Amino acid sequence: MGVRPNWQYRSDLVTTPAAVHLHAHSEYSLLDGACKIDKMAERAAALGQPALGLTDHGVMNGAVDLYKACQKHGIKPIVGLEAYLVDDRKAIKEQTRYERNHITLLAENDTGFSNLVKLTSAGFLEGFSRGKANVDMELLERHSDGVIVLSGCLASRLCRRLVEEREDDARSHLDDLIQAFGPAQVYMEVQKNGIPEQDKANEGIVRYAKELGRPLVATADVHYLTRDDFDNHAALLCVQTKSTLAAPKMSFDTNEFYIKTSEEMHEAFAEWPEAVPNSLEIAERCSLNIELGSLLLPRYPTETGEEPEAMLRRIASEGLRARYADPVPAEAVERLDFELGVIEEIARRCAAGTAAVVKLECSAVVAPPEFTAAASTAKVCAGARLLSEVQLV
């Protein structure tokens, strides 16, 4: 992030009476989403929709693809994910049964994008179980800055509580979301898909939206491109569940989960006329710049707060004196200075704290001194262990 791309989003498009699909799945929702990202952006643009969201299951693998596709077709990318929410991401690893729900998250800005990246990474590193990257409320709250949350689809915690008529638990969940993200970041997600349980959940969602003063937003939970792709998606679900079209283990009850026209969205949500315009409101709020075309490396904070290059020179010089004592041979000083110069040039080209990365690498290098590339003077002096100094078991 940081460098604004050459394209300029046409904000005037958002003022038109169009819908924006904020909850949509691509092929990165493995064996569930039947949409290619470029085709999704192409269709949204063709329908006069000014933006497109991407909320794949548990991952953000399609974020850059969406960004590029939306640039190509002249619409605004809205990056997010549909996270898997559990009560305790660590405890589930020891449990045979636990509840897992969906929740829709969108990056409002660069900070939000960074937080969603951290969130999904933590889901894999800390909450991975049964093939899913799970998060809990503690993780959501830790990475909530710059994130807009929609209450979710029929598989969300809110909808399940409402369908099960657990009103107190439903309200408690909403209170948790508002506490974690802040009231202005929470939208009440409604869907119209012809499923009776969804209609039941919608009643409670609308009621709580009024009680809490939170806006409704319409989504279509897109899983395939057009209405004609329903059978193709059904076949994909059979691949996922190792079943057949004649005897599917999983199927969608209705053919409503595609990129609908704005007219279809307005017609479907006529009962709540503000729900579709609120998708435009969210689109206007979201603004993301992803720097493309350059090498991005992490910056590591140094122990003393000094610049990475200065830190590496200091440590390497100390290591050189420790190995050779004073006076250090001129040949060794010249060699070290040359290697550090190369490292610093790499750092300048990459615009990152490469020297600090090299220092971290040095602490783990194990190689014989004959291998110049692996055991250079800079690495050795900065603390790399030589093979001859390591006891092999």
User: Is 393 a residue whose pLDDT tops 70?
Assistant: no
Give the pLDDT confidence score for residue 309 in this predicted structure: 78
> Which sequence spans correspond to the domains of the chain?
11-285, 308-389
**pLDDT greater than 60 at residue 384:** no
For residues 353-375, give the mean pLDDT.
Answer: 42
pLDDT one-digit tens code per residue, 191-216: 999 999 999 999 999 999 999 999 99
Contacts (Cβ under 8 Å, ≥6 apart) of 122: 89, 135, 139, 143
Q: List, for residues 39-89, the tens digit of each pLDDT value.
A: 999 999 999 999 999 999 999 999 999 999 999 999 999 999 999 999 999
Q: Is the pLDDT of residue 134 over 80?
A: yes
Range in 132-141, 143-152, 161-170, 296-305 the model is least confident about: 296-305
**In the CATH hierarchy, which fold is given to the domain comprising 11-285?**
TIM Barrel (3.20.20)
Q: What is the mean pLDDT of residues 369-377?
A: 46
**Hey, what are 57's tokens?**
């299951």
- Taking the alpha carbons at both ends of the chain, their separation in whole angstroms is 46
- The CA distance from 97 to 363, in Å, is 42
Rounded Cα distance between 365 and 237, Å, is 46
- Answer whether residue 8 shows pLDDT above 80: no
pLDDT score for 367: 37
E-strand ranges in 40-142 read: 51-57, 76-85, 101-107, 134-135
